[in-house]
Structure 1
């Protein structure tokens, strides 16, 4: 039997899903994340090979049985990168039929089959896209400002809030003791020293602490998340206005790990901002993980029409493999 391979590569993880022509997903394989423009194409493709090999082994299938690859790749931003990634994936998988889109596009398909709408993905980083019938998606990519970009940005903002609180530049916040405990440091002076010396590493690991503090009622943390959500919503608001998309014809899909965080302050802030700017706009979290969106896009092409979001046997296999996005 010939299979379709859905692929999702982000900064944190790479997932490969092997599906048959009926839509049944046989297996999902996992590897670490990568981005070709940051870590190099070889690193990116090595992670792809690991995820694909894992998916094949779990399904008891052979690489030669893969007929097509539909990939959502972080770092697919400029036109030339799509060609580079297609060629690299052909070499890495041995499959000639390869389609590449930005990873936020498969996240959108994991939430809807509507041809008109937008997607906002907030995970390790942030990306957004506007989709219209008969036109290439507009993907924000590097238009997203660093202060708005995902868990890395939210963590950095939390770090700054903790340091500001220590010298009276900001309100007292539980973020300070939480962050000190996270790094095992005694006081804010040590925290500042480690930050200046580049010893703190990635700040994305601080993002869960922001939601922990917010859930405990910390006003500074709540305000930080709400402001962060409103700033991210602007990308979708501006895109819908720029392309003249009416609220009654669009759906906005939210995806990415930060939208899974509880309490759902981020989701609420984004939705409230979007519906205030575009009354009547439908905002929904994606039901499926983005890799399922890649499989759905492959099925759309295979069948010549949108594959039903809850169609069987896809939905049953998604449940069996744990590929529903969960917010618990």
Structure 2
């Protein structure tokens, strides 16, 4: 029998089919979706498409799947998790389907530690906290709008160019970059399109403009990245304080596409802001892609984190390039 692991975010959906011994049998991918933004039918359909590709890659039939473990965007609250679990059971005709927020699988992909927190910064942003092996917190809707991953970073940049346009902020090359990206030359039209959610291109992808201008040392672009990093670091320091965690034994995992950017400022800002309060807390980038975290969580239910299935899964992940760097 096979285990189906799923990672669904707003940008992409990934699927793995694995044996119970940890062998990766097949991989698949599809477009991203969120049941909250796009509806359950579309989100479920994208999971099916990715799974079908993995099943075909493995040379198996759908009936071979005995269990599904999904890390799914916007699986934020118990009613949503229950709804998604029932949908996975129905979609794949299984009795056992586990669902967690996609930031939880990103955390598991980054560490074997029982005490850890992840800043998962992709299209949106979320953070999960494990204490003594128990999932104690997922921030969910408590994440500030302007901290929401690449969308939040882009929103911060747009806020700055609006301020610049009104004479309340300095000139910034972000202005022309954003106008060119969205194909809107008139600032009033751009501002209205933003606030009315009518932008002609994805807001999340506009963050590339921010990093491009930061690489040219535009002061405003650099400040946007710095303030973003400073803000999201508070989710880590807040968790340490809330759960009275010993920092030296608590790992901080950084994951998500925004942290893959070659510009060092975001990573360095997050590290420095955390270390200003807790200088002995270890921080590292997640090595494995989040989909591997879904697989490892499924294996966690079956055995110790250092058993053969876990180790084989990690080895095969490296061989298949399912790593972040």
SS of equivalent residue, structure 1 residue 158: helix
**CA–CA distance in 2 between the matches of 1:27 and 1:229?**
37
What is the CA distance between 1:7 and its match in structure 2? 0.8
Are the aligned partners of 1:28 and 1:321 in contact in 2 as well (CA < 8 Å)? no
1:243 correspondence with 2:268 = no
SS of equivalent residue, structure 1 residue 84: helix
What is the CA distance between 1:211 and its match in structure 2? 0.8
Are the aligned partners of 2:22 and 2:308 in contact in 1 as well (CA < 8 Å)? no
Pick which of 128-137 and 205-214 moved more: 128-137
SS of equivalent residue, structure 1 residue 83: helix
What is the CA distance between 1:262 and its match in structure 2? 1.9
Match of 1:297 in 2: 297
**CA–CA distance in 1 between the matches of 2:243 and 2:192?**
47
State the Cα deviation string for residues 159-187 of structure 1 (Å, max 9, x = none). Answer: 22223223321122111111122123345
Match of 1:279 in 2: 279
SS of equivalent residue, structure 2 residue 301: helix
Are the aligned partners of 2:21 and 2:309 in contact in 1 as well (CA < 8 Å)? no
Are the aligned partners of 2:103 and 2:126 in contact in 1 as well (CA < 8 Å)? yes
**CA–CA distance in 2 between the matches of 1:203 and 1:164?**
18
1:75 correspondence with 2:74 = yes
**Count of aligned positions:** 324
What is the CA distance between 1:14 and its match in structure 2? 1.1
What is the CA distance between 1:188 and its match in structure 2? 3.3
The answer for unaligned runs of 5 or more in structure 2 is none
TM-score, normalized by length of structure 2? 0.93
What is the CA distance between 1:139 and its match in structure 2? 0.5
**CA–CA distance in 2 between the matches of 1:198 and 1:311?**
43
What is the CA distance between 1:21 and its match in structure 2? 2.4
State the Cα deviation string for residues 244-293 of structure 1 (Å, max 9, x = none). Answer: 01111100111111011120211111111111111200011110111010
1:104 correspondence with 2:103 = yes
Match of 1:24 in 2: 23
State the Cα deviation string for residues 20-41 of structure 1 (Å, max 9, x = none). Answer: 2232222221111222233222
SS of equivalent residue, structure 2 residue 17: strand
Are the aligned partners of 1:113 and 1:309 in contact in 2 as well (CA < 8 Å)? no
Q: Structure 1 186/237 Cα, relative in aligned 2: closer, same or farther at 3 Å?
A: same
Q: Structure 1 198/240 Cα, relative in aligned 2: closer, same or farther at 3 Å?
A: closer
Q: Structure 1 136/192 Cα, relative in aligned 2: closer, same or farther at 3 Å?
A: closer
Pick which of 58-67 and 246-255 moved more: 58-67
Q: Structure 1 196/215 Cα, relative in aligned 2: closer, same or farther at 3 Å?
A: same
Pick which of 179-188 and 250-259 moved more: 179-188
What is the CA distance between 1:136 and its match in structure 2? 3.4
Pick which of 313-322 and 121-130 moved more: 313-322
Pick which of 18-27 and 248-257 moved more: 18-27
Pick which of 306-315 and 291-300 moved more: 306-315
SS of equivalent residue, structure 1 residue 98: strand
What is the CA distance between 1:53 and its match in structure 2? 0.4
Q: Structure 1 164/42 Cα, relative in aligned 2: closer, same or farther at 3 Å?
A: same
